[in-house]
Structure 1
Amino acid sequence: MKYEWRKANREFYQIKSAPCLIDVPAQSFIMIDGKGNPNAADFSERVGALYSLAYAIKMNYKKTAAEQEFTDFTVYPLEGLWQQEQAGELIKEELIYTIMIGQPDFITGEMVKKALEQIRVKKPNPLYDEIRFEEMTEGACIAMLHLGSFDEEPQSFAKWMPFARVTS
């Protein structure tokens, strides 16, 4: 049976375009940090490195999962944590971020390590050295779906901020 995060974690991944409160439990991620404009080549390269690893993990799992409850899984979407060095106007070149791809509970650190070793040989990339596997608990959060480009995110933040003031 295929593990479908869209069904198992519907409350976290089927968010509406209006802000809402959610409580996010612990989850494991493959992650990489960066700094700068998300429209720049460096960001795209980091995304590519993460997805290369995510699909290697999936393929390795699929080859060895015959006796497991789940024999396959859908790769999670890209997620990100974004900060600015200074409060105020959004200057994309100064953004500090962690981008990540969730992993099902049955993926272990050893599985991630093995997949990393394999892709280092198959498709060398110095960014693989910056990827880590961590569990993260976000807890209470405000979530909303952003539709559009990174350049249009301030419009979503404009909806999000009043909601944050009222609910905190």
Structure 2
Amino acid sequence: MADAGMMDLTHDREMLRTLYAPATGAFSMVDVPLLPFAVWDGEGLPELSSISTAIRNLYTAIYPIRRHARERMGKSFVEPPVELLYWADDMREWAAGHRNNWRWRAQITLPVWADARDLEDSAAEMRQELGLAAPLRWDAFAEGKCVQMLHIGHTDDVPVILERLYREYLPQAGLEPSGPYHEIYLDDWSRVSPAKRKLILRQPVRTRPN
């Protein structure tokens, strides 16, 4: 049974669009509600090889849940995107780009009916593919007030966008970062050209103290 305070995105299509289809090329505000996730905690530096392995394992672990959701929802089923969160214990290390001190995790939204036991059972069904060690867990959290933007194009442009976000947009709006930086990948990048890749950039924020 879904938590009474948890958002069911399969029924709230307007919120689904707000969270996963924001404006392109412009910052916008969003209040991200309580959502359930399958989380794969990153190990080591956030290198492409380790992130790719984590994403592959995460999709493998939740395959039985995705199959069940597809059977229950039929044509209404929408494949959830993979999301990556990055942070540092001292966020000045994140802001300075010192990747050696970054921490990260991969996550995918789950149906509200899929609880921690369902995720455990799903991973157990895929144990042969995953191996014995699986830093997988169920979590539910609300990011709350965030600034986000949909970027379409090369990822080389992202640092420039983030510079504008942190140096210009947030200070001018009287805001400051309040949580891990968040990227949501709307495409399978192995099938989409770099110029057409869709990426949501999201940053939880709070009002700056006077």
2:84 corresponds in structure 1 to 80
When you count strand as a share of all residues, which structure comes out higher? 2
Single out whichever of 91-100 and 4-13 deviates more from structure 2.
Answer: 4-13
Report if aligned partners of 1:60, 1:115 keep a CA contact under 8 Å in 2.
Answer: no
User: Counterpart amino acid of 1:36?
Assistant: L
**Secondary structure of 1:145's partner?**
strand
Cα distance between partner residues in 2 of 1:54 and 1:149:
29
The answer to whether the aligner puts 1:159 opposite 2:127 as a matched pair is no
Query: Structure 1: 5+ residue runs without aligned partners?
Result: none
TM superposition shift of 1:147:
3.7
Cα distance between partner residues in 1 of 2:156 and 2:98:
11
Report if aligned partners of 2:41, 2:104 keep a CA contact under 8 Å in 1.
Answer: yes
Would the alpha carbon gap of residues 89 and 141 (structure 1) be closer, same or farther in structure 2, given more than 3 Å must change? same
Cα distance between partner residues in 2 of 1:150 and 1:36:
19
TM superposition shift of 1:24:
0.5
Residue of structure 1 aligned with 2:106, choices 99, 108, 113: 99
TM superposition shift of 1:124:
3.0
Single out whichever of 155-164 and 19-28 deviates more from structure 2.
Answer: 155-164
When you count helix as a share of all residues, which structure comes out higher? 1
1:36 corresponds in structure 2 to 45
**Secondary structure of 1:138's partner?**
strand
Cα distance between partner residues in 2 of 1:149 and 1:125:
35
Query: What is the TM-score with the length of structure 1 in the denominator?
Result: 0.79
TM superposition shift of 1:8:
5.3
Report if aligned partners of 2:61, 2:122 keep a CA contact under 8 Å in 1.
Answer: yes
Cα distance between partner residues in 1 of 2:14 and 2:77:
12
Cα distance between partner residues in 2 of 1:44 and 1:96:
15
Cα distance between partner residues in 2 of 1:113 and 1:11:
30
TM superposition shift of 1:6:
6.7
Q: How does 1:84-163 map to 2 (within 5 A)?
A: 84-86=88-90, 87=92, 88-121=95-128, 123-127=129-133, 129-148=134-153, 151-161=156-166, 162-163=168-169
**Secondary structure of 1:146's partner?**
strand
Cα distance between partner residues in 2 of 1:141 and 1:84:
18
Report the count of equivalent residues. 158
**Secondary structure of 1:9's partner?**
helix
Report if aligned partners of 1:55, 1:75 keep a CA contact under 8 Å in 2.
Answer: no
2:184 corresponds in structure 1 to none
Deviations 1:35-75 (CA, angstroms, capped at 9, x unpaired) = 42342x11111111111123331113445x4xxxx356322
Query: What is the TM-score with the length of structure 2 in the denominator?
Result: 0.65
Q: CA RMSD in A?
A: 2.5
Which protein has greater RCO, CA pairs closer than 8 Å, 6+ apart? Answer: 1
Deviations 1:129-150 (CA, angstroms, capped at 9, x unpaired) = 2111110111111111234555
> Percent identity, aligned pairs only?
20
User: Counterpart amino acid of 2:80?
Assistant: Y
